Structure 1
Amino acid sequence: MSRIRVLVADDEPLMLAGIQAVLGSAPDLEIVAVAGDGAAAVAAAERVTVDVALLDVRMPLLGGLDAMAALRAARPGAAIVLLTSFGDEANVLRALRQGASGYVLKTCTPEELLRAVRAAHAGDAYLSPPVARQVIGLIGPSGAAGAQRRRAAGDRLAALSPREADVLRLVAEGLSNAGIGARLRMSEPSVKTYVSRVLTKLDCANRVQAALLYRESADQ
């Protein structure tokens, strides 16, 4: 079985060494590049094949959010997981809406970090629990802007078939393909096909974006 190729970027040498130690201990992961800033991370992605990029949000020259956009242009198939020590709500939403597959706090456990990388590679999403709570609280803004966002999201969801809408609802609840299959009495391959259709119809990069769109369409 081929290993998951991971690029790691963090401007703190001690943190970078710790991340390398954690990822290097996993037999299914391979660190293909390391970088101390966002610009170096993008340059590395242009040289080597990357499955998952783990980027610190705050780095010199090019921060993780800006590096994410450039890296996705260089490696469209790469999943992005952002790592931060800041509970920056604006950055969380910006990252997820731009297609990040995960957002993990630097206080996470080694097991949580590995889980986030593996989930991103599998096409799923992972948010540290405190981040997930922030996102749920931020979706569905009040006032005219919130109403406009909900209408726009609802218009996009109208393109889905009833079955696709059911699958999206469960994606938004955080269920895996196996969990969705069990709930809807579908095989995992069928669920995977439906999820792919949903992402294509909604023009979403990953499950996180689709889940955010679903939540934005709801009147919260």
Structure 2
Amino acid sequence: MITVLIADDQELIRDSLKIMISDNEIEVAATVKDGQEALYEISKNNIDVVLLDIRMPLMDGIACLKRIRNLYPALPVIMLTTFDDDEYVFETFKYKANGYLLKSVSRSELKAAIKKVYEGGSWMPSEIMNKFISLFSELAIEGNKPLLKSTFIPDSLVPNEMKIIRGIGRGLSNKEISYELSLGEGTVRNYISAILSKLNLRDRTQIAIFAVQNALVDTGDEQ
């Protein structure tokens, strides 16, 4: 059983999310209206995954995420966002959120995301991935410091790995990359695992950032 905490200042959203995810695999331990209450419940209960709204009173999702990372660094956190939360998204990325979901998320996607981060993975729908890519592109144009420790392209990357990096940088799913490159989805997943290892990156999001920072997005040239 995966134990979940829901933090959102709107009671209707809290109740709706609880109904959507509660089943024989996922249990909602508590629902709270702000970050302070979330931290209290996390300290009191054995929470496996936190669903954390970005905008809340008293203590918002960004401040709460920062505290969670200091107190419970391994606790998976999924940020709940809306389309107009762009100004806050980068802050949540800095504090290593494990996933991002729009509040309009479907029941199946919400439950899949919870299970994915619980198992140690990350989750980001294409809509939010594209916002990240746009944001990182703007930062690169403005001359900001790199968001990754290193942005060199190692010689060990093979041509298909470069193509997959470009695809992830464009926000493509594994299925879309598989179709575009005429590769099986399992083969694509294996390539992604190799890419993460070779680049010393944590997840798919960092591959997308790597693609942007190395000018690999929207280019058809072979590396």
1:10-159 alignment, distance < 5 Å = 10-24=8-22, 26-141=23-138, 142-143=140-141, 145-146=143-144, 148-149=145-146, 153-155=150-152
Q: Which residue, 203, 206, 215 being the options, matches 1:210?
A: 206
Please tell me whether residue 182 in structure 1 is matched to residue 187 in structure 2.
yes
Cα separation, 1, equivalents of 2:149 and 2:68: 28
Deviations 1:141-198 (A, max 9, x none): 343515x42795415x76x9648x949948766549xx775237x5xxx986x68856
Inter-partner Cα distance in structure 1 for 2:174 and 2:100 = 17
Unmatched tracts of structure 2, length 5 or more: 176-183, 218-223
Q: Deviations over 1:65-89 (max 9, x none)?
A: 1111112223222111111234222
Q: Which has the higher helix share?
A: 1
TM-score (norm 1): 0.74
Q: SS at the partner of 1:154? A: coil
Distance 1:124 1:55 in 2: 17
| Number of residues of Structure 1 aligned to a counterpart in Structure 2 | 203
How well do the aligned residues superpose, as a CA RMSD in angstroms?
3.4
Note closer, same or farther for the CA distance 1:106–1:151 as it changes in structure 2 (3 Å cut).
closer
Distance 1:181 1:96 in 2: 28
**Identity in percent:** 22
Contact 2:156 2:198 in 1 (8 A): no
Task: Give the CA deviation at 1:37.
Answer: 0.8
The SS at the match of 1:140 is: helix
Q: 5+ residue gaps in structure 1?
A: none
Aligned residue identity for 1:18:
S
| Whole-angstrom distance in 2 between the partners of 1:73 and 1:180 | 37
TM-score normalised to structure 2 length: 0.73
2: CA distance, partners of 1:49 / 1:171: 35
* Matches of 2:209 and 2:16, distance apart in 1: 35
